[in-house]
């Protein structure tokens, strides 16, 4: 018997960091991975045109795939369009991705936290509200990186990484304030966990790099009912690229993640 898939959406390959956790918790489900690579990177877009693009895209995606639920595995997209998506498609369950400011505020010992994200996510009212609501008594530094999402894409496709360029992007995360140093950096872009080992190697001092992928997957598991009649997926998992033409390295990467590019 085939069941509706879970759709995982991102601007590029960053959502794979969430897909791999979702698979662990929902082994019986099929997944459709959608990368809006024709619009990548989302980080530099103006808000209104990006929101319109995402809503138009979802009109088609939901019609075609009729998913059981959608994981928007992209901070830049969800902090902008999450509420509009839920309002426009009330019959669809959306699981969102937002900067993990609340868990960071609960865990920090120094009280100095950085949020590393795309420039879009840093600009969002949503992000400011999370800080006011959950981290009002802490020092939260917002660091918008214009280049890291692209660097992560290149790195995961097997291209060499430029240490100095990465060091420059993460440097503003490391802050000393009133005798206290940053102890948590929130990875608020789903592309960044692919670079976590590079970040660790280049960091001026050790910090906790907070990756919300597992928490997002847990939330998805709560929302998506387990299939009692299945222990493994009935069909295959697929990947869709809005450009229609992912390159060879990307197709190989998708194969490695068990996704057939359609």
Q: Kindly state the smallest distance separating residue 15's Cβ from ligand DGL, in Å.
A: 7
Q: By the 8 A CB rule, do 153 and 191 touch? A: yes
- Work out whether 82 is an interface residue with ligand DGL (CB under 6 A): no
**What tokens appear for 70 in the block?**
């959608």
**What tokens appear for 243 in the block?**
């450009």
Nearer Cβ to ligand DGL (97/108): 97
Q: Which helix or strand (DSSP H or E) is residue 143 part of?
A: strand 139-144
Q: Kindly state the smallest distance separating residue 97's Cβ from ligand DGL, in Å.
A: 6
Closest CA to 105 of 114, 97, 96: 114
Q: Kindly state the smallest distance separating residue 75's Cβ from ligand DGL, in Å.
A: 4
Q: Kindly state the smallest distance separating residue 41's Cβ from ligand DGL, in Å.
A: 3
- Work out whether 182 is an interface residue with ligand DGL (CB under 6 A): no
Among 7, 18, 35, 74, binds ligand DGL (CB under 6 A): 74
The mark string for 190-229 relative to ligand DGL (x by CB under 6 A, - otherwise) is xx--------------------------------------
Angle subtended at Cα 185 by Cα 183 and Cα 187, rounded to the nearest 5 degrees: 160
- Positive or negative, the CA dihedral 254, 256, 258, 262 is positive
Q: At what angle do helices 75-88 and 125-134 cross, to 10 degrees?
A: 100
Which residues in this chain contact ligand DGL in the complex, by CB under 6 A? 10-12, 14, 40-43, 74-76, 118, 121, 149, 189-191
């Amino acid at each position: 018997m085939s069941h509706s898939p879970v759709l995982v959406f991102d601007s590029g390959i960053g959502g794979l960091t969430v897909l791999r956790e979702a698979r662990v918790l929902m082994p019986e489900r099929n997944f459709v991975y959608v990368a809006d690579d024709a619009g990548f990177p989302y980080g530099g877009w103006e808000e209104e045109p990006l929101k319109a693009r995402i809503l138009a895209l979802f009109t088609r995606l939901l019609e075609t795939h009729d998913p059981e639920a959608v994981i928007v595995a992209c901070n830049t997209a969800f902090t902008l369009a999450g509420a509009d998506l839920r309002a426009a498609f009330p019959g669809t369950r959306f699981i969102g991705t937002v900067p993990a400011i609340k868990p960071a505020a609960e865990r920090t010992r120094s009280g100095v936290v950085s949020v590393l994200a795309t420039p879009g996510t840093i600009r969002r009212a949503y992000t400011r509200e999370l800080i006011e609501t959950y981290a009002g008594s802490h020092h939260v530094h917002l660091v918008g990186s214009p280049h890291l999402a692209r660097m992560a894409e290149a790195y995961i496709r097997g291209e060499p990484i430029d240490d100095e360029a990465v060091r420059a992007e993460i440097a503003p995360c490391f802050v000393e304030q009133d005798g206290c140093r940053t102890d948590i950096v929130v990875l608020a872009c789903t592309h960044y966990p692919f670079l976590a080992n590079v970040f660790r190697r280049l960091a001026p001092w050790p910090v906790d790099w907070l990756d919300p992928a597992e928490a997002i997957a847990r939330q998805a598991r709560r929302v998506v009912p387990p299939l009692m009649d299945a222990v493994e997926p009935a069909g295959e998992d697929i990947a869709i690229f809005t450009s229609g033409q992912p390159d060879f390295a990307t197709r190989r990467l998708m194969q490695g993640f068990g996704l057939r590019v359609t």
